[in-house]
Every structure is written in C-alpha cells, then in structure tokens.
Amino acid sequence: MNMYRGRLMKELQDEDYRYAYDEEFANSRMATQIKVIREQRNGMTQAQLAGKADMRQSRISALENVDYSAWSISTLRRLAQALGVRLTFKFESWGDLLSEVESFNREALQVPDFENDPAFNEAEVAIAAFPELGAFKEHKSARDFVQVMAKLEEREHGLASS
C-alpha cells in the first residue's frame, strides 16, 4: 500500500472528513472530466461546447472550475448530450473512492463519443452478427473486414433467395 493511500484511509475514518473529501473530489473530478472530454473532441473550445449545449461560454468556464459545486442533473445531461457521452449515477462503496483517487488522471477521464465507441464500431457490430469472423479482424483492417462482411451478406441473401 502506498503512503498516500494509507494516509487517506486513516483520514477517511472520520465521517465528517470522509463526506467532505468525497464532495470535493467529486466536484474536481466532474469539472476536470468536462474539460478533458471537451478537449478530447478535436480541441473543442468552451464557446463551441456552449453552443452545442445551448449555454453561455461563461457557464462552461464556471462548470470547468474545480471549485464549482452547484451541479444540476439537467445541466449535466445537456453537457453529456453535447459531448456525445452518457451520464450515469450510482451509489458506491468508500473503497471505490480509494481506487478513483489513485487512478485520477487525464486518460482515465477520457470517454469516446458514440461514433468512436469501440462497442459500436462497424467491425464489432459485424463480429456480433458473425462471431466466426473474429479471427479475420485481427489480421486485416476494419475496412477489409467490413468488405468481407458485405460479401458474405450478399452471398447469404443470394443463397436464401435461390
């Protein structure tokens, strides 16, 4: 166990400290993640995000401030849609907080938009439909894979209609 984790575990034993720390961390994480995802979107500016979310640029600036604490679910939903991501809420254990604190970095905060989500990439969708072609994907580009899938689909439809 690293020294910081041990110290934090000890400090979190105090209930008031635990809830105050969690609130501050959650505020910092949300503000930072908004900025990270915005920048991940081809360097989207605050003004561009504001336009997509139907807000003022000054509002985006305030939301990206780690000291901001007046979050509203409706505002976060508007931002999620403007950034092409989903917003989630859940209750977690205090142990999860330790893991979040330890992995708090730019890479961990990045989230692909729907169009770039690997789960919805054409090749992944094709593999879901034709699992036997999974091995092919490993050796060819996604474009080659999609072309092969199209040919297989044509052949399948041709056989079905004969």
Q: pLDDT (tens digit, 9 = 90+) per residue, 103-153?
A: 999 999 999 998 888 877 766 666 666 666 666 555 556 666 677 767 777
Helices 3-11, 94-102: axis angle to 10 degrees equals: 150
Structural domain containing residue 145 = 121-161
- Verify that 105 and 142 share a domain, yes or no: no
Q: What is the pLDDT of residue 145?
A: 65
- Verify that 76 and 137 share a domain, yes or no: no
pTM given for the model: 0.75
Q: Is 91 helix (H, G, I), strand (E, B) or coil?
A: coil
Q: Tokens 């081809």, residue?
A: 42
**Which of 136, 161, 131 is closest to 147 using CA atoms?**
136
Examine residue 155 and state whether it is found in any structural domain, yes or no.
yes
Examine residue 101 and state whether it is found in any structural domain, yes or no.
yes
- Verify that 137 and 68 share a domain, yes or no: no
Q: Tokens 């999860």, residue?
A: 96
- Verify that 105 and 134 share a domain, yes or no: no
Banded pLDDT at 3 (limits 50, 70, 90): confident
